[in-house]
Amino acid sequence: MSLETVSSNLSFGGVQGVYKHASSVTGTDMTFSVYVPPHAPGMKLPVVWYLSGLTCTHANVTEKGEFRRACAELGLIFVAPDTSPRGEGVADDPAAAYDFGLGAGFYVDATTEPFARHYRMWSYVTEELPALVAANFPADMARQAIMGHSMGGHGALTIALTFPDRFRSVSAFAPIVAPGQVPWGHKALPGYLGDDKAAWRRHDTVALIEDGARVKDILVDQGEADGFLAEQLKPSLLVAACTDAGIDLTLRMQPGYDHSYYFISTFMEDHLRWHAERLG
């Protein structure tokens, strides 16, 4: 599968690239970014996946995440995919709402029309893009971590719980932990997956844990001034699920911080160091 280099810039001795390719999974062109830190020739490096939130593309974290200095020091490849398929003929919310359709793929494989044709972000992020990264970058695919923000935190947690042998660590910023119990999920899950509530549970962190999925530990940072905290995020539900399941959850409530990249960039290095310890 061929890659087109959109841009390439030297940063902290490594290379920040943006790439485009024709995806057979989504049936569209897809764009993603990869930071490769400085390294010796022939060396394979651990990979940290970052999944973005509603309305975002790969560019939000690439431009605002402030991850490169830490990744260069720690020797981590940082991969940031898009949040949905895009392009001519890709279905969108008829009302052009921000929380469904373009920019809001929710990291599921849609089964309802007209979204099923292109909205296959679960398969894209868990199958196609990892194969592409493994083939084109010095990635040690035996050492992978995953993290994300908001909708991307939902994606990171559900993917890690589904593939616990693939990812050595998982963390999130302000994740949607129980989409089956909040308005964002009440729109996205039936919109993409129809009335199959068993399918909803496979894409709900709290439900997955209740149904037996396990990871060793989780790191979550949550801003106390986040306007979505009470209605959409509900971290207390994750606390209860992890307590009952014996999962070691570190939930850090951060006074004064909101839902923005000012929040994310403040604690990004903490998360990368946490992952690096577990990646070896």
CA dist 128 and 121 (Å) reads 10
**Domains of the chain by range and CATH?**
3-279 (3.40.50.1820)
Reported confidence tier of residue 98, pLDDT bands at 50, 70, 90: very high
CA dist 277 and 74 (Å) reads 9
Q: What angle do CA 41, 46, 49 make, to 5 degrees?
A: 130
Q: What is the pLDDT of residue 231?
A: 98
Q: What is the pLDDT of residue 33?
A: 98
Residue 1 reports pLDDT greater than 80: no
Q: What is the pLDDT of residue 250?
A: 98
Q: What is the pLDDT of residue 210?
A: 98
Q: What is the pLDDT of residue 35?
A: 99
pLDDT tens digits for range 106-124:
999 999 999 999 999 999 9
pTM: predicted TM-score of the whole model, two decimal places: 0.98
In sequence order, which residues have a C-beta less than 8 Å from that of residue 74 and are 6 or more positions away? 37, 272, 273, 276
Residue 275 reports pLDDT greater than 80: yes
Using an 8 Å Cβ cutoff, are 39 and 33 in contact?
Answer: no
Q: What is the pLDDT of residue 5?
A: 98
pLDDT tens digits for range 6-59:
999 999 999 999 999 999 999 999 999 999 999 999 999 999 999 999 999 999
Residue 28 DSSP class: S
Q: What is the pLDDT of residue 233?
A: 98
SS3 75: coil
Reported confidence tier of residue 222, pLDDT bands at 50, 70, 90: very high
**How many contiguous H segments (helices) and E segments (strands) does the chain have?**
10, 9
Which residue type, as a one-letter code, is found at position 212?
Answer: G
Q: What is the pLDDT of residue 176?
A: 98
The backbone torsions φ and ψ at residue 252, rounded to the nearest 5 degrees and listed phi first, read -110, 110
Single out the residue of 135, 134, 108, 174 nearest to residue 49, CA to CA: 134
Better-scored residue on pLDDT, 2 or 202: 202
Reported confidence tier of residue 166, pLDDT bands at 50, 70, 90: very high
Reported confidence tier of residue 168, pLDDT bands at 50, 70, 90: very high
Q: What is the pLDDT of residue 173?
A: 99
Which positions are catalytic? 150, 226, 259
Q: Taking all residues of the chain, what is their mean pLDDT, rounded to a whole number?
A: 98
